[in-house]
Amino acid sequence: MESDLTALRDALRAFCAERDWHSYHTPKNLAMAMIVEAAELVEHFQWATAEESLHLSPEKLAEVRDEVADTFIYLVELADVLGIDLIAAARDKMKKNALKYPAPDLSEKQV
């Protein structure tokens, strides 16, 4: 997966360079753009029940897919600008979360 993420990052760098967008892709601007896209993603689920959110129509799923992609693209670009290795950061965060939220010992669980 790392190579896929690196390839995506490199493609995004080229895409932005071809359009001379790098001067606009500051951490502040990328973070704000990412949250706007995340808000657009949330709009698709705003009034849906939990069950409805699990069973999207093909059309709705295509729209959600686009918003997920937009959010992910801005996240990859933000990490790139800041020099953050997303895979390493996620792994490190999972380790922190495992300490903060240890899995319950199911052998002690009473039925």
Cβ-based neighbour number of residue 37 at 10 Å: 20
> Tens digit of pLDDT for each residue in 22-59?
999 999 999 999 999 999 999 999 999 999 999 999 99
Say which CATH topology domain 2-86 has.
Helix Hairpins (1.10.287)
Distance from C-alpha of 34 to C-alpha of 87, rounded to nearest angstrom = 18
pLDDT at 111 over 60: no
pTM of this structure:
0.88
Question: Any idea where the domains of the chain sit in the sequence?
Answer: 2-86
DSSP H helical segments within 2-57, as ranges?
A: 2-19, 27-43, 50-54
**What's the token pair of residue 41?**
């993603």
Q: Angle at the Cα of 26 (from 25 to 30), degrees rounded to 5?
A: 65
Distance CA 16, CA 41 (A): 23
